């Protein structure tokens, strides 16, 4: 087992869907094949999307983690397969374009309690596979400034934005200054229409992995729910 590898449980849209096509071509990368794709002709788009491109188009349900001692990728895959087999699809409100902490993302247009509960279950169900973060990782997570509640979640679960701090989102840009964010938001609005026209259907959970922190996350396997 590669001790530098990290894993994450994400929602990734079905290949060929409007949401998948939007994400892959906006970010300029297919996380399943690792192919580079053409992006819209927008000034600076490669740099604007550099950070989310590294992770692949997704929504985080169980944040990235290294495997704890005694666990293997095969064991994690088997556990995820068993988990999704016992659960049904989640139908959530349509997505909308929004700014979160300075970056642009797609978020549910209304409360999505069932989706939030699914994310919470992923955090707890797979926590036995998670190796505790080291001091450098803790310091990195704390660097933006955390509330006491977020810091407690970080220490317990390895990530500060879980459970009551969780917000489902599919990231489209890195953090942008106000005027730049307004420019990119205006360019994105006509592009997201087909992907946000109907309810968001969480029909599968995916296991993503990176060989080490310098390598991009790749889609290992997509497990249909139910």
Tell me the pLDDT tens digit for each residue of 72-113: 999 999 999 999 999 999 999 999 999 998 999 999 999 999
Residue 107 is inside which H or E element, if any?
strand 103-108
Position 145 scores a pLDDT of 86
Average pLDDT over residues 118-132: 97
* 25, 31 contact by CB (below 8 A): no
Q: Using alpha carbons, list the distances in angstroms from residue 184 to 42, 105, 109.
A: 8, 11, 20
Q: Domain range for residue 181?
A: 6-224
- The answer to whether position 160 is within a domain reads yes
Dihedral sign (CA 48, 51, 56, 61)? negative
Per residue in 97-130, is it b (16+ CB within 10 Å) or e — as a string? bebeeebbbbbbbeebeebbebbeebbeebeebb
Is the residue at 113 inside a domain?
yes
Could you tell me if residue 1 is inside a domain? no
Whether residue 1 has pLDDT greater than 70? no
Number of domains in the chain: 1
Report the CATH number that the domain containing residue 22 is assigned in CATH. Answer: 3.90.1140.10
Read off the pLDDT of residues 130-169 as tens digits, 9 standing for 90 and up.
999 889 989 999 987 899 999 999 999 999 999 999 999 9
Q: pTM (2 decimals)?
A: 0.94
Q: Which two three-digit tokens encode residue 85?
A: 């087999």
């Amino acid at each position: 087992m590669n001790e530098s590898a990290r894993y994450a449980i994400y929602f990734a849209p079905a290949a060929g869907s409007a949401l998948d096509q939007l994400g892959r071509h906006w970010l300029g990368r297919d996380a399943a094949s690792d192919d580079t794709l053409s992006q819209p002709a927008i000034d600076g788009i490669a740099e604007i999307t550099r950070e989310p491109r590294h992770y692949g188009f997704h929504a985080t349900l169980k944040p990235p983690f290294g495997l704890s001692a005694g666990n293997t990728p095969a064991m994690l895959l088997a556990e995820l397969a068993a988990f999704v087999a016992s659960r049904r699809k989640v139908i959530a409100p349509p997505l909308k374009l929004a700014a979160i902490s300075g970056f642009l993302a797609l978020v549910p247009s209304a409360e999505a309690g069932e989706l939030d509960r699914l994310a919470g279950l992923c955090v707890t169900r797979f926590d036995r596979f998670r190796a505790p973060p080291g001091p450098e990782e803790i310091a990195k997570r704390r660097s933006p400034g955390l509330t006491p509640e977020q810091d407690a979640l970080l220490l317990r679960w390895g990530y500060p934005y879980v459970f009551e701090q969780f917000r489902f989102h599919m990231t489209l840009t890195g953090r942008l200054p106000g005027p730049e964010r307004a420019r990119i938001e205006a360019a994105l609005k006509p592009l997201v229409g087909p992907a946000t026209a109907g309810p968001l259907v969480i029909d599968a959970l995916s296991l993503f992995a990176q060989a080490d922190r310098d390598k991009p996350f790749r889609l290992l396997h997509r497990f249909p729910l139910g």
